[in-house]
Amino acid sequence: MNKTKTKQSVTQQKSNWKPWQIVLVILLGLCALPVVVPVGFGLLAAAVGIAVALGACVLGLLACSAACGIGMILVLAALLLGGLFFIGTGIVSMFHAVGSGFAILGSGFMMTGSAILGTALLSGLVWLIWKGILWIRSKVGGKKKAGSAEPEPEAAPGEQMTGTSAAETDSNGFHLLEKKEAEALYRVFGAAMAKMPPKWRILVLSSHTEFERCFGRPAGKRRKLYNGMLKCDVFMYP
């Protein structure tokens, strides 16, 4: 009914237009074309230019970062190779001139140590950048998932639960059994377990706060834990 009313109102508004008003609107549109078209093309060109400039800046930053990284790797490799060369030369020179041999050997150790330290710093920097990328990706992905999450279906009028009939839920929040049904199940289970041999050991995981009363006897031991986000208890019967 609402849709038909809105359609009728729209058709009535359209029918209220007079011929001279339609002609006036067409003439105004034709007069505005010489101004609107150049301005529109100018705005489009400006938007394209800004997008191209931003893309060029991003590509330039990526290229500079890649060049700096490659340069640092080459410098570290040169330091490491030079240090190893000086160490070997120093060891050989020690047989001819002990002083110069020790000097060359020390220079080699300094170069090798600098290369190792630089490699560690570069690896740490790369690790931090990678962690930052993963963090940004997780934040963006989390917002997308939160925005695309489907709303929970509403319960039917006959299926709505009151405050006295709260339902037990699993770690994902899905309703399993209503409180009264769970209590009845616990009573039947407790009566069945009472007939078992005394050496049997029973472990029950439940989030019901009055499980022991429904089961029919107190537990020998009780441990608290979480099933996902749901607080539960493990009831141990020796």
Reported as type and span, the H/E element at residue 222 is strand 221-227
Say yes or no to pLDDT of 129 above 70. Answer: yes
> 223 lies in a domain?
yes
> 96 lies in a domain?
yes
Q: What is the mean pLDDT of residues 130-152?
A: 71
pTM for this one?
A: 0.39
Domain span at residue 109?
74-143
- The domain tally of the chain equals 2
Say yes or no to pLDDT of 132 above 60. Answer: yes
Q: Which two tokens stand for residue 78?
A: 């040169």
Q: What is the mean pLDDT of residues 1-22?
A: 61
C-alpha 168, offset from chain centre? 29
Q: Are residues 227 and 177 in the same domain?
A: yes
Strand partners of residue 178: 167
Strand partners of residue 206: 233
The number of CA neighbours under 13 Å toward the Cβ of 29 is 6
Maximum Cα–Cα distance across the chain: 112
